[in-house]
Amino acid sequence: MQCEGPLVDRFGRVHDNLRLSVTDRCNLRCFYCMPEEAVQFRQRSEILQFEEIERFVRISVALGVRRLRITGGEPLVRAGLPALVRQLAAIPGVADLAMTTNGLLLAEHAAPLRAAGLQRLNISLDSLRETTFRRIARRDGLARVLAGIDAAVQAGFDKIRLNTVAIRGITESEVIALAEYALAHAMELRFIEFMPLDADSNWHSQYVLPGAVIRAQLEQRFGPLVPVTREDRSQPAVDYALADSGGRIGFINPVTEPFCGDCSRLRITAEGQVRNCLFSTVEWDARALLRQGASDEQVADLVRHCIGAKKAGHGIDSPEFIRPRRAMYQLGG
Protein backbone atom coordinates (compact mmCIF):
# COMPACT_ATOMS: atom_id res chain seq x y z
CA MET A 1 0.00 0.00 0.00
CA GLN A 2 1.55 3.28 -1.15
CA CYS A 3 -0.88 5.66 0.60
CA GLU A 4 0.87 8.24 2.74
CA GLY A 5 -0.33 10.63 5.43
CA PRO A 6 -0.84 12.69 7.38
CA LEU A 7 -4.26 14.07 6.47
CA VAL A 8 -3.86 17.83 6.83
CA ASP A 9 -6.52 20.30 5.73
CA ARG A 10 -5.89 23.84 4.43
CA PHE A 11 -6.12 25.19 7.98
CA GLY A 12 -3.35 22.94 9.25
CA ARG A 13 -5.58 20.53 11.17
CA VAL A 14 -4.24 16.97 11.24
CA HIS A 15 -6.94 14.32 11.01
CA ASP A 16 -6.30 11.09 12.90
CA ASN A 17 -9.78 10.27 14.20
CA LEU A 18 -12.35 8.31 12.17
CA ARG A 19 -16.02 7.98 13.18
CA LEU A 20 -17.27 4.79 11.60
CA SER A 21 -21.03 4.25 11.31
CA VAL A 22 -22.03 0.62 10.85
CA THR A 23 -25.81 1.07 10.57
CA ASP A 24 -28.48 3.77 10.41
CA ARG A 25 -30.94 1.56 12.32
CA CYS A 26 -31.76 2.03 15.98
CA ASN A 27 -34.00 0.52 18.64
CA LEU A 28 -34.86 3.92 20.17
CA ARG A 29 -36.40 7.02 18.59
CA CYS A 30 -34.76 9.88 20.50
CA PHE A 31 -36.31 13.13 19.34
CA TYR A 32 -32.92 14.86 19.00
CA CYS A 33 -31.89 12.25 16.43
CA MET A 34 -34.69 10.32 14.69
CA PRO A 35 -38.32 10.48 13.59
CA GLU A 36 -40.73 8.68 15.90
CA GLU A 37 -42.37 6.54 13.23
CA ALA A 38 -42.08 5.58 9.53
CA VAL A 39 -38.28 5.81 9.46
CA GLN A 40 -36.75 5.27 6.04
CA PHE A 41 -33.67 3.12 6.58
CA ARG A 42 -31.11 2.22 3.94
CA GLN A 43 -31.49 -1.10 2.17
CA ARG A 44 -29.08 -3.71 3.50
CA SER A 45 -27.40 -3.93 0.10
CA GLU A 46 -26.47 -0.25 0.44
CA ILE A 47 -24.71 -0.70 3.79
CA LEU A 48 -20.97 -1.37 3.71
CA GLN A 49 -19.98 -4.97 4.35
CA PHE A 50 -17.42 -5.73 7.05
CA GLU A 51 -14.73 -6.42 4.45
CA GLU A 52 -15.37 -3.03 2.84
CA ILE A 53 -15.23 -1.30 6.20
CA GLU A 54 -11.97 -3.05 7.07
CA ARG A 55 -10.40 -2.05 3.76
CA PHE A 56 -11.43 1.59 4.16
CA VAL A 57 -10.02 1.63 7.69
CA ARG A 58 -6.72 0.09 6.56
CA ILE A 59 -6.37 2.80 3.93
CA SER A 60 -7.28 5.49 6.45
CA VAL A 61 -4.73 4.17 8.94
CA ALA A 62 -2.07 4.36 6.23
CA LEU A 63 -3.06 8.04 5.92
CA GLY A 64 -2.49 8.66 9.61
CA VAL A 65 -5.75 7.70 11.29
CA ARG A 66 -5.03 6.24 14.72
CA ARG A 67 -8.35 6.40 16.56
CA LEU A 68 -11.58 4.70 15.57
CA ARG A 69 -15.05 5.10 17.02
CA ILE A 70 -17.85 2.75 15.96
CA THR A 71 -21.23 4.49 15.80
CA GLY A 72 -24.69 4.18 14.28
CA GLY A 73 -27.70 4.45 14.42
CA GLU A 74 -27.23 2.01 17.23
CA PRO A 75 -24.21 -0.13 16.35
CA LEU A 76 -25.29 -3.11 18.43
CA VAL A 77 -28.25 -3.80 16.14
CA ARG A 78 -25.72 -4.72 13.44
CA ALA A 79 -25.41 -8.50 13.45
CA GLY A 80 -21.99 -9.96 14.14
CA LEU A 81 -20.42 -6.73 15.36
CA PRO A 82 -17.75 -8.45 17.52
CA ALA A 83 -16.34 -9.95 14.32
CA LEU A 84 -15.85 -6.47 12.87
CA VAL A 85 -14.29 -5.26 16.10
CA ARG A 86 -11.83 -8.16 15.93
CA GLN A 87 -10.92 -7.23 12.35
CA LEU A 88 -10.38 -3.58 13.20
CA ALA A 89 -8.42 -4.28 16.37
CA ALA A 90 -5.98 -6.39 14.35
CA ILE A 91 -5.06 -3.55 11.98
CA PRO A 92 -1.50 -2.34 12.75
CA GLY A 93 -1.53 1.33 13.70
CA VAL A 94 -4.94 1.44 15.38
CA ALA A 95 -4.16 2.89 18.81
CA ASP A 96 -7.68 3.43 20.12
CA LEU A 97 -10.88 1.53 19.34
CA ALA A 98 -14.08 2.81 20.96
CA MET A 99 -17.82 2.60 20.45
CA THR A 100 -20.81 4.80 21.21
CA THR A 101 -24.01 2.93 22.13
CA ASN A 102 -27.39 3.57 23.68
CA GLY A 103 -26.71 0.56 25.91
CA LEU A 104 -30.00 -1.21 25.27
CA LEU A 105 -28.32 -4.39 23.96
CA LEU A 106 -25.10 -4.05 25.90
CA ALA A 107 -25.89 -6.61 28.59
CA GLU A 108 -25.58 -9.44 26.06
CA HIS A 109 -22.80 -7.94 23.95
CA ALA A 110 -20.39 -6.33 26.42
CA ALA A 111 -18.29 -9.45 27.09
CA PRO A 112 -17.95 -10.51 23.41
CA LEU A 113 -17.01 -6.95 22.42
CA ARG A 114 -14.35 -6.73 25.11
CA ALA A 115 -12.94 -10.10 24.11
CA ALA A 116 -12.84 -8.97 20.47
CA GLY A 117 -10.64 -5.99 21.32
CA LEU A 118 -12.96 -3.04 21.94
CA GLN A 119 -11.14 -0.72 24.33
CA ARG A 120 -13.59 1.99 25.34
CA LEU A 121 -17.32 2.65 25.57
CA ASN A 122 -19.44 5.79 25.49
CA ILE A 123 -22.98 5.06 26.67
CA SER A 124 -25.89 7.44 26.15
CA LEU A 125 -27.78 8.19 29.36
CA ASP A 126 -30.08 11.20 29.21
CA SER A 127 -32.05 10.50 32.39
CA LEU A 128 -32.30 8.20 35.38
CA ARG A 129 -36.09 8.50 35.45
CA GLU A 130 -38.17 6.25 33.23
CA THR A 131 -40.72 8.97 32.45
CA THR A 132 -38.04 11.36 31.22
CA PHE A 133 -36.19 8.58 29.43
CA ARG A 134 -39.34 7.74 27.50
CA ARG A 135 -40.09 11.39 26.79
CA ILE A 136 -36.73 11.68 25.05
CA ALA A 137 -36.29 8.19 23.58
CA ARG A 138 -40.00 7.66 22.77
CA ARG A 139 -39.48 4.07 23.85
CA ASP A 140 -39.04 2.28 27.19
CA GLY A 141 -35.69 0.88 28.16
CA LEU A 142 -33.94 2.65 31.03
CA ALA A 143 -33.62 -0.54 33.10
CA ARG A 144 -31.97 -2.31 30.15
CA VAL A 145 -29.50 0.55 29.70
CA LEU A 146 -28.52 0.43 33.38
CA ALA A 147 -28.13 -3.34 33.15
CA GLY A 148 -25.92 -2.81 30.10
CA ILE A 149 -23.71 -0.42 32.02
CA ASP A 150 -23.33 -2.97 34.81
CA ALA A 151 -22.47 -5.66 32.25
CA ALA A 152 -19.81 -3.43 30.69
CA VAL A 153 -18.15 -3.02 34.06
CA GLN A 154 -18.29 -6.77 34.65
CA ALA A 155 -16.78 -7.37 31.21
CA GLY A 156 -13.73 -5.35 32.17
CA PHE A 157 -14.35 -1.99 30.50
CA ASP A 158 -12.62 0.49 32.78
CA LYS A 159 -12.97 3.53 30.53
CA ILE A 160 -16.70 4.15 30.34
CA ARG A 161 -18.14 7.56 29.59
CA LEU A 162 -21.78 8.50 29.99
CA ASN A 163 -23.15 10.95 27.42
CA THR A 164 -26.12 13.19 28.16
CA VAL A 165 -27.68 15.42 25.51
CA ALA A 166 -28.48 18.70 27.26
CA ILE A 167 -31.92 20.06 26.37
CA ARG A 168 -33.36 23.16 27.98
CA GLY A 169 -36.56 22.40 29.87
CA ILE A 170 -35.63 18.74 30.39
CA THR A 171 -32.06 18.28 31.50
CA GLU A 172 -31.93 20.82 34.33
CA SER A 173 -33.78 18.46 36.67
CA GLU A 174 -31.55 15.52 35.68
CA VAL A 175 -28.10 17.04 36.15
CA ILE A 176 -27.44 16.31 39.81
CA ALA A 177 -28.77 12.74 39.77
CA LEU A 178 -26.71 11.92 36.67
CA ALA A 179 -23.58 13.40 38.23
CA GLU A 180 -24.12 11.45 41.45
CA TYR A 181 -24.63 8.23 39.49
CA ALA A 182 -21.44 8.79 37.46
CA LEU A 183 -19.43 9.57 40.58
CA ALA A 184 -20.77 6.53 42.44
CA HIS A 185 -19.75 4.29 39.54
CA ALA A 186 -16.39 6.02 38.89
CA MET A 187 -17.39 6.98 35.34
CA GLU A 188 -16.89 10.17 33.40
CA LEU A 189 -20.01 12.14 32.52
CA ARG A 190 -20.28 14.45 29.53
CA PHE A 191 -23.04 16.88 28.71
CA ILE A 192 -23.49 17.52 24.98
CA GLU A 193 -25.41 20.53 23.72
CA PHE A 194 -28.48 19.77 21.59
CA MET A 195 -27.49 20.25 17.93
CA PRO A 196 -29.58 20.98 14.83
CA LEU A 197 -29.47 17.40 13.57
CA ASP A 198 -32.88 16.12 14.66
CA ALA A 199 -34.92 14.40 11.98
CA ASP A 200 -38.09 16.36 12.80
CA SER A 201 -36.32 19.71 12.28
CA ASN A 202 -37.70 21.06 15.55
CA TRP A 203 -34.34 22.26 16.81
CA HIS A 204 -34.17 25.90 17.87
CA SER A 205 -31.50 27.74 19.79
CA GLN A 206 -33.98 28.23 22.64
CA TYR A 207 -33.74 24.49 23.35
CA VAL A 208 -29.96 24.61 23.77
CA LEU A 209 -28.91 24.29 27.40
CA PRO A 210 -25.39 25.79 27.51
CA GLY A 211 -22.67 23.87 29.24
CA ALA A 212 -21.89 26.95 31.33
CA VAL A 213 -25.37 26.80 32.87
CA ILE A 214 -24.96 23.13 33.80
CA ARG A 215 -21.51 23.79 35.19
CA ALA A 216 -22.90 26.47 37.51
CA GLN A 217 -25.61 24.07 38.66
CA LEU A 218 -23.04 21.39 39.44
CA GLU A 219 -20.84 23.80 41.37
CA GLN A 220 -23.74 24.72 43.61
CA ARG A 221 -24.04 21.06 44.58
CA PHE A 222 -20.46 19.77 44.47
CA GLY A 223 -18.27 22.84 44.89
CA PRO A 224 -15.69 24.19 42.44
CA LEU A 225 -15.07 22.41 39.16
CA VAL A 226 -11.38 22.62 38.34
CA PRO A 227 -10.41 22.76 34.64
CA VAL A 228 -8.39 19.75 33.48
CA THR A 229 -5.55 20.31 31.04
CA ARG A 230 -6.36 18.63 27.76
CA GLU A 231 -3.84 16.00 26.75
CA ASP A 232 -5.32 16.08 23.25
CA ARG A 233 -6.22 19.53 21.91
CA SER A 234 -8.58 17.99 19.36
CA GLN A 235 -10.89 16.33 21.88
CA PRO A 236 -14.34 17.94 21.69
CA ALA A 237 -14.91 18.05 25.45
CA VAL A 238 -13.68 20.54 28.00
CA ASP A 239 -13.19 18.48 31.16
CA TYR A 240 -13.41 19.50 34.80
CA ALA A 241 -12.46 17.70 37.99
CA LEU A 242 -14.65 17.89 41.06
CA ALA A 243 -12.27 19.27 43.67
CA ASP A 244 -13.65 17.24 46.57
CA SER A 245 -14.37 13.88 44.97
CA GLY A 246 -11.85 13.66 42.15
CA GLY A 247 -14.60 12.77 39.68
CA ARG A 248 -14.56 14.20 36.18
CA ILE A 249 -17.31 15.90 34.18
CA GLY A 250 -16.97 17.21 30.65
CA PHE A 251 -18.87 19.56 28.40
CA ILE A 252 -19.18 19.36 24.62
CA ASN A 253 -20.53 22.74 23.57
CA PRO A 254 -20.64 22.85 19.75
CA VAL A 255 -23.32 25.55 19.71
CA THR A 256 -22.22 28.04 22.38
CA GLU A 257 -18.47 27.34 22.28
CA PRO A 258 -17.52 25.83 18.89
CA PHE A 259 -14.27 23.87 18.89
CA CYS A 260 -13.83 23.55 15.12
CA GLY A 261 -10.34 25.06 15.18
CA ASP A 262 -8.94 21.89 16.72
CA CYS A 263 -11.10 19.30 14.95
CA SER A 264 -9.29 16.12 13.91
CA ARG A 265 -12.31 14.03 12.88
CA LEU A 266 -13.63 12.61 9.64
CA ARG A 267 -16.59 10.29 9.20
CA ILE A 268 -17.90 7.56 6.98
CA THR A 269 -21.61 6.81 7.00
CA ALA A 270 -23.05 3.31 7.09
CA GLU A 271 -23.57 3.39 3.32
CA GLY A 272 -20.02 4.55 2.63
CA GLN A 273 -20.20 8.32 2.27
CA VAL A 274 -17.16 10.15 3.64
CA ARG A 275 -17.81 13.43 5.45
CA ASN A 276 -15.38 15.99 6.84
CA CYS A 277 -17.90 17.48 9.31
CA LEU A 278 -21.18 16.50 10.93
CA PHE A 279 -22.68 19.60 9.34
CA SER A 280 -21.19 19.19 5.89
CA THR A 281 -23.59 19.52 2.98
CA VAL A 282 -21.23 17.54 0.70
CA GLU A 283 -20.23 13.87 0.78
CA TRP A 284 -17.60 11.77 -0.99
CA ASP A 285 -18.72 8.35 -2.23
CA ALA A 286 -16.22 5.74 -1.00
CA ARG A 287 -18.67 2.88 -1.50
CA ALA A 288 -18.67 3.41 -5.26
CA LEU A 289 -14.89 3.12 -5.38
CA LEU A 290 -14.80 0.13 -3.06
CA ARG A 291 -17.34 -1.74 -5.19
CA GLN A 292 -15.93 -0.75 -8.58
CA GLY A 293 -12.45 -2.19 -8.12
CA ALA A 294 -10.65 1.06 -7.37
CA SER A 295 -7.10 0.91 -6.08
CA ASP A 296 -6.15 1.80 -2.52
CA GLU A 297 -4.53 4.98 -3.82
CA GLN A 298 -7.77 6.03 -5.51
CA VAL A 299 -9.67 5.57 -2.25
CA ALA A 300 -6.92 7.48 -0.43
CA ASP A 301 -7.21 10.32 -2.93
CA LEU A 302 -10.95 10.55 -2.23
CA VAL A 303 -10.21 10.88 1.50
CA ARG A 304 -7.58 13.53 0.82
CA HIS A 305 -10.00 15.52 -1.34
CA CYS A 306 -12.63 15.30 1.38
CA ILE A 307 -10.25 16.66 4.02
CA GLY A 308 -8.93 19.28 1.61
CA ALA A 309 -12.44 20.67 1.19
CA LYS A 310 -13.11 21.00 4.93
CA LYS A 311 -14.35 24.40 6.05
CA ALA A 312 -12.96 26.38 8.96
CA GLY A 313 -16.07 25.68 11.05
CA HIS A 314 -19.63 24.38 11.03
CA GLY A 315 -21.16 27.86 11.28
CA ILE A 316 -24.12 27.01 13.53
CA ASP A 317 -23.79 30.47 15.05
CA SER A 318 -23.70 32.14 11.63
CA PRO A 319 -26.63 33.56 9.61
CA GLU A 320 -25.21 31.65 6.62
CA PHE A 321 -25.57 28.28 8.35
CA ILE A 322 -27.18 25.62 6.16
CA ARG A 323 -28.66 22.69 8.03
CA PRO A 324 -27.65 19.26 6.65
CA ARG A 325 -30.42 17.39 4.89
CA ARG A 326 -29.68 14.28 6.92
CA ALA A 327 -30.28 13.68 10.62
CA MET A 328 -27.88 12.44 13.27
CA TYR A 329 -28.78 8.74 12.94
CA GLN A 330 -27.93 8.90 9.23
CA LEU A 331 -24.55 10.54 9.81
CA GLY A 332 -22.94 8.52 12.55
CA GLY A 333 -22.73 11.02 15.38
Is 31 part of any domain? yes
Residue 221: CB partners within 8 Å, gap ≥ 6? Answer: 176, 179
Question: Which of 112, 109, 14 is closest to 65 using CA atoms?
Answer: 14
Task: Give 2's pLDDT tier (boundaries 50, 70, 90).
Answer: low
Q: What is the pLDDT of residue 1?
A: 53
pLDDT digits (tens, 9 = 90+) for 124-137: 999 999 999 999 99
Is 127 part of any domain? yes
Q: What is the pLDDT of residue 39?
A: 87
The pairing of strands 248-252 and 265-268 is unpaired
Question: Which of 127, 113, 183, 99 is closest to 155 using CA atoms?
Answer: 113
Q: What is the pLDDT of residue 260?
A: 84
Is 308 part of any domain? yes
Number of domains present in the structure of the chain = 1
Q: What is the pLDDT of residue 8?
A: 94
pLDDT digits (tens, 9 = 90+) for 221-255: 999 999 888 777 767 878 999 877 778 999 988 88
Is 1 part of any domain? no
CB 178 within 8 A of CB 145: no
Is 297 part of any domain? yes
pLDDT digits (tens, 9 = 90+) for 155-198: 999 889 999 999 999 999 999 999 999 999 999 999 999 887 76
Query: Which CATH number covers residue 25?
Result: 3.20.20.70
Q: What is the pLDDT of residue 238?
A: 86
Is 4 part of any domain? no
Q: How many angstroms separate the CA atoms of 53 and 86, rounded?
A: 12
Print the domain residue range for 185: 9-331
Q: Produce one character per residue of 179-203: b if its CB has 16 or more CB atoms within 10 Å, e if not.
A: bbbbbeeebbbbbbbbbbbbbeeeb
- Helices 142-154, 130-137: axis angle to 10 degrees equals 100
Report which of residues 315 and 217 the model is more confident about: 217
CB 262 within 8 A of CB 233: yes
Q: What is the pLDDT of residue 59?
A: 97
pLDDT digits (tens, 9 = 90+) for 83-103: 999 999 999 999 999 999 999
Q: What is the pLDDT of residue 318?
A: 66
Is 216 part of any domain? yes
Is 104 part of any domain? yes
pLDDT digits (tens, 9 = 90+) for 31-65: 988 888 888 899 999 999 999 999 999 999 999 99
Which range has the top average pLDDT, 141-155, 227-241, 275-289, 309-323?
141-155
